[in-house]
């Protein structure tokens, strides 16, 4: 669209026009039959997107941090032990949230840009009687990808509940909640789910709901309490009116449209498309001579890329890339904030957007007099985008 730049940050992202149109519909009553139907359908669709056929979906007004708060508030009681597999800034946040509800948190850390090995996770799980283990599927500050499949299965063997912060992964990165034994997978609307910011989205599996029902203490957060929200979610799915807190009516309508589109693409095709866009962008970045924060391909996320600035180049690069048409994000991890930048590639982002972004990056690199072969990044990306 002329006059509009491509929004290629790790959330919020570009949104589909049909989703934006749904947001612009006249706001209706939260108990109007059409709205009840849309909300009920959105909840049903969440189960399919999360690949959690027996999970309990929750869609609540708020951002991703609220989704983290909801998971911790409902599963943690004072004195519970929690293990945080820490891969960056958002793992630190999860630890803070768990501590706020009285958990005694241990961290399992890897060097920046890496993730712990499965053996290290297994050993850590054996060291205490952990009620929960928290994993950041994609830490948006490092672009490190956690091995959720292996770690969550181990956690289940120990009788520990796994909470996955999937804010930068759900509906983009491969995540199979039930098959992988993930107890809570949470996200926010503004990333791969493809809806403007404002919804905290969670699916809780049967073990998580059972642990919630076994609680000895009331949930220490009134708004987050599943005691208040569970009857509401159940009512909307049963197409009955209900009220606890006014739902974000327009966002829920948009969510239903976006989830319909996601399921229309199909989850396997969607995971593969994200993986391909990621491989193309990472190949382009390497062809341009830039390193990345993740230390190996295997630990790198598919929803964003975190290139390091080459020698002699600083964050002024991003202004030039912006002038060339693509909005990228700066660094976030406090230890390396000025050393790298981030490219988000999720949701409706398509192969043409990938090429346009690499083109804008090349123009930015030219503007800062970086020495490289123009077109090298585009050629590397293109080679991976065609069959």
368, 333 contact by CB (below 8 A): no
Determine whether 197 is exposed, middle or buried from the number of CB atoms within 10 Å of its CB (0-12, 13-18, 19+): middle
Of 63-71, 228-236, 275-283, 373-381, which part binds ligand PMP (CB under 6 A)?
63-71
Whose Cβ is closer to ligand PMP: residue 65's or residue 322's? 65
Q: What are phi and psi of 151, to 5 degrees?
A: -70, -40
Applying CB under 6 A, does 303 fall inside the site for ligand PMP? no
CB 142, min distance to ligand PMP, A? 10
Nearest to 182, CA basis, from 157, 153, 202: 153
Residue at shortest CB range from ligand PMP: 64
CB 64, min distance to ligand PMP, A? 3
Determine whether 378 is exposed, middle or buried from the number of CB atoms within 10 Å of its CB (0-12, 13-18, 19+): buried
Applying CB under 6 A, does 359 fall inside the site for ligand PMP? no
Whose Cβ is closer to ligand PMP: residue 160's or residue 189's? 189
Of 160-168, 216-224, 290-298, 346-354, which part binds ligand PMP (CB under 6 A)?
160-168
Residues numbered 187-226 forming contacts with ligand PMP, rule: CB under 6 A: 188
Task: Report the C-alpha gap between 72 and 74 in whole angstroms.
Answer: 6
Site string for ligand PMP, 6-45 (x = CB under 6 A): -----x----------------------------------
Applying CB under 6 A, does 344 fall inside the site for ligand PMP? no
Site string for ligand PMP, 116-155 (x = CB under 6 A): --------------------x--xx---------------
3-state secondary structure of 33: helix
Whose Cβ is closer to ligand PMP: residue 64's or residue 294's? 64
CB 87, min distance to ligand PMP, A? 9
Q: Which residue has the tokens 């962008």?
A: 281
Beta-carbon contacts of residue 331 (< 8 Å; ≥ 6 apart): 141, 306, 315, 337, 338, 339, 340, 341, 342
Helices (H), the chain: 17-24, 33-50, 64-75, 89-100, 118-125, 148-157, 206-213, 226-237, 249-265, 267-287, 316-323, 351-367, 376-385
Residue from 38, 84, 97, 168 touching ligand PMP (CB under 6 A): that is 168
| Binding-site size, ligand PMP (CB under 6 A) | 12
Helix (H) or strand (E) holding 185: strand 184-188
Applying CB under 6 A, does 362 fall inside the site for ligand PMP? no
Applying CB under 6 A, does 309 fall inside the site for ligand PMP? no
Helix (H) or strand (E) holding 61: strand 56-61
Q: In angstroms, how far is CA 97 from the centroid of its own chain? A: 17
Whose Cβ is closer to ligand PMP: residue 245's or residue 289's? 245
CB 139, min distance to ligand PMP, A? 6
Binding site for ligand PMP (CB under 6 A): 11, 63-65, 90, 136, 139-140, 165, 167-168, 188
């Amino acid at each position: 669209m002329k006059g509009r730049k491509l929004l290629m940050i790790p959330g919020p992202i570009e949104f589909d026009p049909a989703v934006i149109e749904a947001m612009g519909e006249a706001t209706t009553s939260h108990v109007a039959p059409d709205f009840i139907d849309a909300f009920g359908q959105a909840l049903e669709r969440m189960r399919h997107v999360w690949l959690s056929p027996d999970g309990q979906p929750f869609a609540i007004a708020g951002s991703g941090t609220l989704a983290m708060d909801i998971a911790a508030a409902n599963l943690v009681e004072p004195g519970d032990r929690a293990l945080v597999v820490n891969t960056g800034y958002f793992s630190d946040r999860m630890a803070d949230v768990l501590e706020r509800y009285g958990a005694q948190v241990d961290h399992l850390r890897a060097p920046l840009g890496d993730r712990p090995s499965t053996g290290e996770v297994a050993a850590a799980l054996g060291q205490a009687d952990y009620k929960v283990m928290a994993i950041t599927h994609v830490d948006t500050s490092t672009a490190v990808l956690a091995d959720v499949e292996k770690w969550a299965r181990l956690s289940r063997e120990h009788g520990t509940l796994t909470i996955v912060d999937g804010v930068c992964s759900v509906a983009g990165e491969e995540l199979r909640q039930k098959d992988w034994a993930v107890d809570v997978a949470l996200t926010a609307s503004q990333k791969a789910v493809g809806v403007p910011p404002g919804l905290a989205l969670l699916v809780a599996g049967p073990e998580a709901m059972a642990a919630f029902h076994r609680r000895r203490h009331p949930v220490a957060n009134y708004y987050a309490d599943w005691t208040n929200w569970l009857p509401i979610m159940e009512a909307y799915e049963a197409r009955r009116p209900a009220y606890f807190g006014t739902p974000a009516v327009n966002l829920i309508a948009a969510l239903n449209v976006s989830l319909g589109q996601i399921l229309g693409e199909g989850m396997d095709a969607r995971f593969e498309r994200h993986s391909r866009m990621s491989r193309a962008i990472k190949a382009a970045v390497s062809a341009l001579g830039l390193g990345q924060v993740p230390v190996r391909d295997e630990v790198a996320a598919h929803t964003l890329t975190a290139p390091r600035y080459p020698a002699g180049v600083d964050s002024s690069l991003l202004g030039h890339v912006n002038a060339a048409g693509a909005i990228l994000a700066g660094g976030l991890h406090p230890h390396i904030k000025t050393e790298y930048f981030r490219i988000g590639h999720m949701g409706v982002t398509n192969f043409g957007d990938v090429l346009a972004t690499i083109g804008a990056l090349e123009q930015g690199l030219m503007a800062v007099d970086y020495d490289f072969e123009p077109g090298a990044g585009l050629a590397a990306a293109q080679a991976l985008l065609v069959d």
